[in-house]
Amino acid sequence: AQSVTQLGSHVSVSEGALVLLRCNYSSSVPPYLFWYVQYPNQGLQLLLKYTSAATLVKGINGFEAEFKKSETSFHLTKPSAHMSDAAEYFCAVRPGGYNKLIFGAGTRLAVHP
């Protein structure tokens, strides 16, 4: 069965510090992987996606993620947090050939001065 696990429901960092949000997946077929961001009372916005090209994927707002097949991971990073990065972040997997996205439980990122 396909699933997504996000380690840490809440992450708090200082402004300017490294952001690391963890995501592990399970999939019986090569997956497509995604990170979405959700601001309060908004829908989800795509940050970046992995579609079996480069394993290091760059997204919007300075975020990037690395696909590691051996670790079944797709962690999201940003070198320097900004106050505007405070939001809910969702990792999602779409197994190849399937139409449905499977979401993780989300990680709420707080950025403090």
Partner 1 sequence: EADIYQTPRYLVIGTGKKITLECSQTMGHDKMYWYQQDPGMELHLIHYSYGVNSTEKGDLSSESTVSRIRTEHFPLTLESARPSHTSQYLCASSEPAGTSNTEAFFGQGTRLTVV
The residue among 72 and 98 lying less far from partner 1, judged by its C-beta, is 98
Q: Is 89 in the site for partner 1 (CB under 8 A)?
A: no
Among 24, 85, 104, 109, binds partner 1 (CB under 8 A): 104
Question: Among 18-26, 59-67, 76-84, 99-107, which window interacts with partner 1 (CB under 8 A)?
Answer: 99-107
Question: Among 20-28, 36-44, 55-63, 64-72, which window interacts with partner 1 (CB under 8 A)?
Answer: 36-44
Q: Is 70 in the site for partner 1 (CB under 8 A)?
A: no
Cα–Cα distance measured from residue 4 to residue 1, given in angstroms and rounded to the nearest whole number: 10
User: How long, in residues, is the chain?
Assistant: 113
What is the sign, positive or negative, of the torsion defined by CA atoms of 82, 110, 32, 55?
positive
Q: How far is CA 72 from CA 33, 68, 84, in A?
A: 11, 6, 29
Cα–Cα distance measured from residue 70 to residue 83, given in angstroms and rounded to the nearest whole number: 33
Question: Among 13-21, 63-71, 77-85, 103-111, which window interacts with partner 1 (CB under 8 A)?
Answer: 103-111
Q: Is 30 in the site for partner 1 (CB under 8 A)?
A: no
Q: Show Cβ contacts of residue 53 under 8 Å, excluding neighbours closer than 6 positions.
A: none
